[in-house]
Amino acid sequence: EVILLDSKAQQTELEWISSPSTGWEEISGLDENYTPIRTYQVCQVMESNQNNWLRTNWIEKGDAQRIFVELKFTLRDCNSLPGVVGTCKETFNLYYQETDAEVGRNIRESQYVKIDTIAADESFTQGDLGERKMKLNTELRIIGPLSRRGFYLAFQDVGACIALVSVKVYYKKCWSIIENLATFPDTVTGSEFSSLVEVEGTCVSDAEEEADNSPKMHCSAEGEWLVPIGKCICKAGFHQKGDACEPCGRGFYKSSSQDLQCSRCPAHSYNDREGSWRCDCEDGYYRALSDPPAVTCTRPPSAPQNLVYNINQTTVSLEWSSPADNGGRNDVTYRIMCRRCGWEPEECLPCGGNVGYLPAQSGLVDAYVTITDLLAHANYTFEVEAVNGVAAGTTFELIKEKVQQRSVQLSWQEPEQPNGVITEYEIKYYEKDQKDRIYSTVKSKSTSATVNNLKPSTAYVFQIRAFTAAGYGTFGPRLEVTTKEEPSGTASTEQNPVIIIAVVAVAGTIILVFMVFGFIIGRRYALAVKFPGTKTYIDPETYEDPNRAVHQFAKELDASCIKIERVIGAGEFGEVCSGRLKLPGKRDVPVAIKTLKVGYTEKQRRDFLCEASIMGQFDHPNVVHLEGVVTRGKPVMIVIEYMENGSLDAFLRKHDGQFTVIQLVGMLRGIAAGMRYLSDMGYVHRDLAARNILVNSNLVCKVSDFGLSRVIDDDPEAVYTTTGGKIPVRWTATEAIQYRKFTSSSDVWSYGIVMWEVMSYGERPYWDMSNQDVIKAIEEGYRLPAPMDCPPGLHQLMLDCWQKDRADRPKFDQIVGILDKMIRNPNTLKTPLGTCTRPISPLLDQNTPDFATFRSVGDWLEAIKMERYNDNFTATGYSSLESVARMTIEDVMSLGITLVGHQKKIMSSIQTMRAQMLHLHGTGVQV
Ligand code: AMP
């Protein structure tokens, strides 16, 4: 609550404007706790025609749209004041005026809008000594939507004895909160009771919005946050702790925002920073490009072992066994390096493309290879290298370009599959014959390098490796180069196994043959199953001649039996009328008559009659009954039993708050029984909603609106969805929206929505949210909350109907059973104490009748739409409003008014009437 005015909190004089000055008077007093307060009082009860106005100071509304006005006051009982009959009143009027700025001190009555007539609801109580004490009344009214910058409140006294003890003006806010790691700012509630204000959330620090799922919430008119949709998630390197994102600790990482938790660094990796998205590999360990951060860091494998060869003319076969250490990976393959050497070992050159490798030169999974097309009488060196994910492609050969006395120029080719983008190459070299192998290194960013400061006539060994984002790769094969002047040294065979062979032969060829298989596609069988004993619904579309379908299921009526009386609604195909049907030898009955408008097409006629073909197959007290059709005359008509109270949604809205829970559950039980019958028949409704339920005069609810797709096409609630076709989104199960899976179980979902509509007296499901947001909210598990005063057991049943998995939803049969049980044990329907009650509706819309204007009991009953009980009142002698005003609830019941909602409505009107006109007896206590 944000308070705009609180008269009690003010210490100094209020200085409101009183007009005339003989009217309202500012008086210091004490409140019920003896705290000093400022009050306004007026008590001009002796003279007639009082019109005393009191206006507050200007109240700036800020960003409020819906303003709450709470009044505390005492009102003197006229009967405690002798000699005031005829002039003393017991109510006063509350007004407001909207303005953009303060206006003058003159009160112009015509500029004020009346909020309500305020009466004391508990004006007098009996004190300990039998005296009547004045009681402090509290009344709350709501005004809005407001459009100007501020407003005044005004109190009009017409001759009562009033002390205005406190005036509090406030509006409601949804206070800033963090939900799903998103911050939602303070939000002022909307202007209407049923409107939600949609608010976008901002991710907390180190969080980001989940893809396509930005966080939203809805601020309700009551200042509560509702329906969270979407969320934020902690970024990589951060994890959720309460409503915040905290960095992963040292030795932990979180690679993606999608992951929930930080994980410990995998084996052979570490990090010494907080908030890491990955761990670095220990020295000598690597990750392949394709390795996710969660896998252990691995090493290149050790060398293959036990290399053996076999020479057959110009072909060499090599075989070996796997390396002793596969580096912790299971993607070890082999590759062959071939060099043809002169008889001096240091004069080796790559073999080039003339040599054949079977099955391949690299990527060998099995530990053998055959090398063909070698030159006869040549000297070859073969190296077999084991590679794995962290070594593959990172080793490559050095080529010597130019050898001089003190320098060697080297070049190489960029590896084919580098382990990431190569940022640098490193060449290490050492003097071959040096005992303690002191390495020197040279770095290069291009694919060549010159190594200087070498000794002449010295053998050097060079190796190269690449540096990528994944770290250094492994060194490639050794290249031995002897600087100019004094040639020396022999080929090294130290790390990778190498053999030198002379080859003298020719190889053969292998041909592969592929076989092609054909497939034979089997036939599909459709199987029709019939269950004995159950009447099954037959789709009228299966009839080639739609006229035959109609006459198979509907009785043809003679137009002369039908009397149309008046139009009651508009249907898709023409007017809906009420009238009477008189069949020969039977009593005439009230009916609804749907007509087909003139100038229809053949298709319209077929679709129109389709509803009759469907309805005619049903026979159940909770399914609207078809009397028959008129197809042979004009207009074409469908005649249906008459449902006096029309559609359920409108009916409930009209009677907001007037039924007992048992009555509401009774309605729901009827709908469930009708749906059980339809589902047993194998009929899927697809558009079950309160607007498609009809109510008769006995409050019996019946399922209506049958048809094929056309029913949904007509439904103004139906919208096109991405799956094609129109769907009433708010009433439809997820699977039916997503892939048009309509079943009795999706009807159960819709039934749950109907339950919610009924228990909230026709509130719109999901209020004014957009269809898109409804779909999203449901997808994220949001479900409608219990309506006001709804017993928890019923809400639970709704939630069961809205189970995501349709197999988990109850069947209509079970729903009927559950509701029957509740009706038998009404205790289960008690709302636990302390749950919220229905809010006071904006009183601007509420018309409190002025009883002085009623001349008779009949007038009054008509004004409160209870005229049907006129006879009950007159027959029992309540002919004057004075006598009615004295009635108690027992009196009302004794008239034979059995509907509790009606009893309540009549009683509350009587109480207001009493406050306006009744003179009670007793002694008042001076304020
Ligand atoms: P429909 O074309 O079936 O949606 O009907 C249009 C309107 O006519 C409904 O919303 C009802 O208010 C009214 N209506 C339809 N059928 C009946 C009926 N059997 N008894 C009373 N009113 C009906």
Distance (angstroms) between ligand 1 centre and the Cα of 868 equals 23
Q: Is-contact 718 726, C-beta < 8 A?
A: yes
Positions marked active-site: 687
- Are 313 and 507 in contact by the 8 Å Cβ rule? The answer is yes
DSSP-based three-state secondary structure for 247: strand
- Tokens 């909020």 found at: 115
Paired tokens of 266? 């995998």
618 is in an annotated binding site: no
Burial string for 4-26 (b: 16+ CB within 10 Å, else e) reads: bbebbeeeeebebbbbeeebbee
Neighbours of 435 (CB within 10 A): 6
Q: Which residues contact 13 (CB under 8 A, 6 or more apart)?
A: 26, 38
Comparing 501-510, 648-657, 718-727, the range with the smallest average pLDDT is: 501-510
Question: 572: annotated binding-site residue?
Answer: yes
Closest CA to 259 of 240, 244, 272, 275: 240
**By C-alpha distance, which of 208, 256, 206 is closest to 236?**
256
Q: Whose CA is nearest to atom 6 of ligand 1?
A: 571
Q: What tens digit of pLDDT does each residue of 331-376 get?
A: 888 888 888 877 665 677 778 778 899 998 888 999 999 999 988 8
Determine the distance from the C-alpha atom of residue 522 to the mean position of all C-alpha atoms in its chain, rounded to a whole number.
44
Contact between residue 664 and residue 791 where contact means Cβ atoms under 8 Å apart = no
Task: Give pLDDT, residue 81.
Answer: 77
Closest residue by Cα to atom 21, ligand 1, is 643
**Residue-wise pLDDT tens digits, 538-549:** 888 888 887 888
Compute, in angstroms, the gap from residue 700 CA to the centroid of ligand 1. Answer: 15
Alpha carbons 379 and 740: distance in angstroms, whole number: 74
CA of 704 to the centre of ligand 1 (A): 9
Q: Whose CA is nearest to atom 8 of ligand 1?
A: 569
Alpha-carbon distance of 110 to 697, in angstroms, equals: 44
CB atoms within 10 A of CB 525: 5
Using the mean position of ligand 1's atoms as its centre, give its distance from the Cα of residue 591 in Å. Answer: 11
Distance of CA 559 from the midpoint of ligand 1 (Å): 20
Query: What pLDDT band is residue 530 in, cutting at 50, 70 and 90?
Result: very low
Say yes or no to pLDDT of 107 above 50: yes
Alpha-carbon distance of 58 to 150, in angstroms, equals 7
pLDDT of residue 853: 67
User: Is residue 838 very low, low, confident or very high in pLDDT (cuts 50, 70, 90)?
Assistant: very low
Torsion of CA 895, 897, 900, 902, to 10 degrees: -110
Nearest CA to ligand 1 atom 5: 571
**pLDDT for the residue 649:** 96
Task: Could you list the beta-strand ranges (E) of 699-807.
Answer: 701-703, 719-720, 726-727
Stated length of the chain: 927
The residue whose C-alpha atom lies closest to atom 7 belonging to ligand 1 is 569
Residue nearest to atom 14 of ligand 1 (CA): 646
250: buried, middle or exposed (CB in 10 Å: 19+, 13-18, 0-12)? middle
Q: How far is the CA of 694 from the centre of ligand 1 (A)?
A: 7
Pocket mutation for ligand 1, best pick of 580, 595, 644, 694 (most atoms within 8 Å of C-beta): 694
Across 139-148, 440-449, 476-485, 642-651, least confident range: 476-485
What is the rounded CA–CA span in Å between residue 810 and residue 802? Answer: 10
Residue 691 CA, closest ligand 1 atom number = 10
Atom of ligand 1 minimally distant from the CA of 576: 8
The reply, when asked if residue 573 is annotated as ligand binding, is yes
Tell me the pLDDT band of 851, cut-offs 50, 70 and 90.
Answer: low
The DSSP H or E segment spanning 863 is: helix 857-863
Output phi, psi for 783, to 5 deg: -135, 155
Q: Do 387 and 302 contact (CB within 8 A), yes or no?
A: no
Report the pLDDT averaged over residues 684-704.
Answer: 94
569 assigned ligand-binding residue: yes
Q: How far apart are CA 725 and CA 744, in angstroms?
A: 19
* Closest ligand 1 atom to 642 CA: 20
Cα separation of 441 and 473, whole Å? 15
Q: Which residues line ligand 1 (CB under 6 A)?
A: 568-569, 571-572, 576, 592, 624, 640, 642-643, 646-647, 694, 705
Q: What is the pLDDT of residues 192-222, one digit of tens each?
A: 777 788 999 999 999 999 988 899 999 988 8
